[in-house]
Amino acid sequence: MANKLDKEKFLAKYGMVGGGPGSFIGSVHRKAARFDGRAEIAAGSFSRDYEKTLKTGKKLNLPKERLYDSYQEMAAKESQKENGIDFVSIVVPNKFHHPIAKEFLKKGINVVCDKPLAVSLKEARELKDLAKSKDLLFAVTYVYSGYPMVKQAREIVSSGEIGEIRVIQGEYPQEWLAEPVENRGNKQAEWRLNPSMSGKTNCVGDIGSHIENTVSYISGLEIDSLIANLSSFGKCRELDDNAEMMLKFNNGATGSFWCSQVAVGHENGLKIRVYGTKGSIIWKQENPNYLEVSSLDGPTKTFSRGRDDLEKRATKNVRLPGGHPEGFYEAFANIYNNFLSALKDKTRGERVDPEDYDYPNVEDGVKGVRFIETCLESSRKNSKWVSVDQ
């Protein structure tokens, strides 16, 4: 079985499925995992083309015997090695998240998986149940929960500073699919717009799920019901490139989400606004080191990451002094670092309660898939209100 980590020096070994030549997200995960010197890549099945796996493995200085022709072979052999991997990082198109994660869980290996967790709620729940039955850790990399000012927003909301939440607005506009780039050699566009690779949705699954997770993380609220309208403006596209949603939350609050990949003039414009009875907060991903907080009985304040005193959860994830921007890589690294803290404690025989470790887990992954499926159902029903299946 996979090795027990050195009790004096914590250094996890991990393997990766996907992330071969030309993979953007695979490179991001590898950088994030090694950011704090607590994990090293030891094995990989980086492509369905074994020659590409060998090419990637050579660049990463991995021995040939730890490079595998398939994820099945990797899971089987690594689980039997004395020095086998402690977790696997899954960075493949959505359709393959479930079978790959399932295979490694069955072999007793912890999992870090890119979002969305799966392409159906049935698959997502199966992974949650399997991880629980095997007593394994499972992280889903919703990166925006890793930003310190998102954590500060969560603490402000939970403290009651802005009162009871009344309205939530979330938007995530991009422009990268405004033209038919899938017909011009853009590999990411090709697979994201292909149902056999991406599942039943593109835009909602890709970036709409980020809105849902970030809102859920900050607010602590559950979506009770929603209306969704998914559109495809690209000629001959089977999957959505734009969507609008109206929502009701379990505390009686209302909200609206908008995600688009055809919004000309926007690069990566995730913005979350939460309005309560006593105040409000605004966070913008493209200016992530600042959080705007307004109140009924005082001036609007702007919290600055690295400069101002923040709540413990946020402070723990700050890496640089004020004025030195932190962004995407650092947020990804925070997720890995917090997951590795849980892995360290678990390996040392200590009790691990997911609530004590600040990373998105398999439960969050299930919630994300549930949100996606509810949006699809509402849109199919001509944008009727649909209750979210809890």
- Confidence at residue 247, expressed as pLDDT on a 0 to 100 scale: 98
- Confidence at residue 351, expressed as pLDDT on a 0 to 100 scale: 84
Q: Are the CB atoms for 40 and 123 separated by under 8 Å? A: no
- Confidence at residue 165, expressed as pLDDT on a 0 to 100 scale: 98
Quickly tell me which residue has 């690209």 as its tokens. 234
pTM: 0.95
- Confidence at residue 239, expressed as pLDDT on a 0 to 100 scale: 98
Cα separations (Å) of 171 from 86, 221, 243, 262, 357?
37, 17, 10, 13, 27
**Arithmetic mean of pLDDT, 303-308:** 95
**Arithmetic mean of pLDDT, 108-113:** 98
Q: Are the CB atoms for 92 and 29 separated by under 8 Å? A: no
Residue 62 has pLDDT above 50, yes or no: yes
- Confidence at residue 4, expressed as pLDDT on a 0 to 100 scale: 42
Q: How far apart are CA 44 and CA 47, in angstroms?
A: 9
pLDDT in tens, 314-334: 999 999 999 999 999 999 999
Helix 148-159 vs helix 209-219: crossing angle, to nearest 10 = 50
Q: Are the CB atoms for 276 and 163 separated by under 8 Å? A: yes
In which band, very low, low, confident or very high, does the pLDDT at 389 lie, cut at 50, 70 and 90? confident
Average pLDDT score, the chain:
95
Q: How far apart are CA 112 and CA 135, in angstroms?
A: 14
Residue 2 has pLDDT above 60, yes or no: no
Coil/strand/helix, residue 180 = coil
- Confidence at residue 354, expressed as pLDDT on a 0 to 100 scale: 74
The closest of 241, 130, 237 to 194, measured between CA atoms, is 237
- Confidence at residue 9, expressed as pLDDT on a 0 to 100 scale: 66
The encoded tokens of residue 306 equal 């690295």
The encoded tokens of residue 192 equal 């994201």
CA–centroid distance for 236 within its chain: 29
Choices 3.30.499.10, 3.30.1490.190, 3.40.50.720, 3.40.366.10: CATH for 12-136? 3.40.50.720
**Arithmetic mean of pLDDT, 78-95:** 97
> Does 198 or 353 have the greater pLDDT score?
198
**Arithmetic mean of pLDDT, 180-204:** 95
pLDDT in tens, 231-280: 999 989 999 999 999 999 999 999 999 999 999 999 999 999 999 999 99
- Confidence at residue 75, expressed as pLDDT on a 0 to 100 scale: 98
The amino acid sitting at 323 is G
DSSP assignment of 21-80? TT-HHHHHHHHHHHTTSSEEEEEEE--SSHHHHHHHHHHTT--GGGB-SSHHHHHHHHTT
Q: Are the CB atoms for 84 and 2 separated by under 8 Å? A: yes
The amino acid sitting at 74 is M
- Confidence at residue 365, expressed as pLDDT on a 0 to 100 scale: 98
- Confidence at residue 355, expressed as pLDDT on a 0 to 100 scale: 74
The encoded tokens of residue 172 equal 């995530």
Q: How far apart are CA 122 and CA 226, in angstroms?
A: 20
Considering the chain, tell me which residue range(s) the CATH 3.30.360.10 domain(s) occupy.
147-317+368-387
Residue 218 has pLDDT above 90, yes or no: yes
- Confidence at residue 353, expressed as pLDDT on a 0 to 100 scale: 80
Q: How far apart are CA 23 and CA 390, in angstroms?
A: 35
Q: How far apart are CA 220 and CA 306, in angstroms?
A: 25
The closest of 331, 333, 271 to 305, measured between CA atoms, is 331
- Annotation: CATH topology of 147-317+368-387: Dihydrodipicolinate Reductase; domain 2 (3.30.360)
Considering the chain, tell me which residue range(s) the CATH 3.40.50.720 domain(s) occupy.
12-136
CA–centroid distance for 318 within its chain: 19
The amino acid sitting at 179 is E
The pairing of strands 165-173 and 254-260 is parallel
Residue 6 has pLDDT above 70, yes or no: no
Q: How far apart are CA 90 and CA 84, in angstroms?
A: 17
Sheet holding 165-173, edge to edge: 298-304, 290-295, 279-284, 271-276, 165-173, 254-260, 242-249, 223-231, 386-387
Q: How far apart are CA 13 and CA 264, in angstroms?
A: 42
- Confidence at residue 244, expressed as pLDDT on a 0 to 100 scale: 98
